[in-house]
Structure 1
């Protein structure tokens, strides 16, 4: 590959109950693409093609590869379907392959913290990814409920705190803003 590499890639965690974790990761992706870096995003627990980032990447951002590894429906934390578990594990395998091959400069594992919290994928496997990633790969893990061990292993941790949201006034999620 004939493009610039990061000298040292860090691990970021974007967590908390506030809005903006995936959006922050996508903002960093856009910045990285602007400087010639290649970006891969794997979305755990998401399967809808209606997300704005999917449409934008397909239409405008060939340097941003987004793969979804989930169903279009929400996962029941207390009783995840075998398909939810299988898709999350397939996503983890793909993430491991993509990270270890080192062809991408920035890798985003969207909603991976939730997948760990819901016991869809093992915590130790995520910690292993963090420990063994190539030095030049910047890694972002998003989602609520980041495990304390993931937080401790990260270089950058940002917690989004919910102060207010129109959802509590009955406003539905809006296309182009929340998804």
Structure 2
């Protein structure tokens, strides 16, 4: 695709980082681009994007995390391995030029919590993204990634119905 190769970072405490990445994916697909989304921590097959991707042409979703929360204070070795495997898959996709847009969903948090090495990720993305648009999502984006990025959006929570109205996760909106 023409002029692809930018690095996007969607981070912050607010809702909408993955949703923004999916919006970009939808727009890219509309222009004939191929999109691969690798989910670092969202292995639950009931997520809306996991159910919907089958309906989108040129969109591949690879869920590579467990379907439960990661204990970041004391991560289970399987969570570390899964995050590292997800990153290896992302590298493989970039090296083989398999897609026009690569979304690395929740990679920011995987780096921030030391499940994968930030310096190695940033160096690889600097050297190998070439003609692939790369989108990194998740809270706590490391400063090195932000410095490397061409676009950074910091989504900040102003108010949220979870806390205001004690509303739980709603399928189709939050999950």
Q: Do 1:19 and 1:162's aligned partners in 2 also have CA atoms closer than 8 Å?
A: yes
1:41 partnered with 2:37? yes
- How many residue pairs get aligned? The number is 174
**TM-score, scaled to structure 1:** 0.94
In 2, the alpha carbon distance for the partners of 1:134 and 1:23 equals: 22
State the superposition RMSD in angstroms. 0.9
1:16 Cα deviation after fit:
0.2
Paired position in structure 1 for 2:14: 18
Paired position in structure 2 for 1:147: 142
Paired position in structure 2 for 1:82: 77
Unpaired runs of at least 5, structure 1: none
Match of 1:115 among 110, 120, 125: 110
In 1, the alpha carbon distance for the partners of 2:167 and 2:130 equals: 43
SS in 2 for 1:97: helix
**TM-score, scaled to structure 2:** 0.96
Equivalent runs, 1:22-171 vs 2, <5 Å = 22-58=18-54, 60-168=55-163, 169-171=165-167
Q: Which runs of 4+ in 1 moved over 4 A?
A: none
Q: Do 1:69 and 1:91's aligned partners in 2 also have CA atoms closer than 8 Å?
A: yes
Unpaired runs of at least 5, structure 2: none
1:6 partnered with 2:8? no
SS in 2 for 1:89: helix
SS in 2 for 1:86: helix
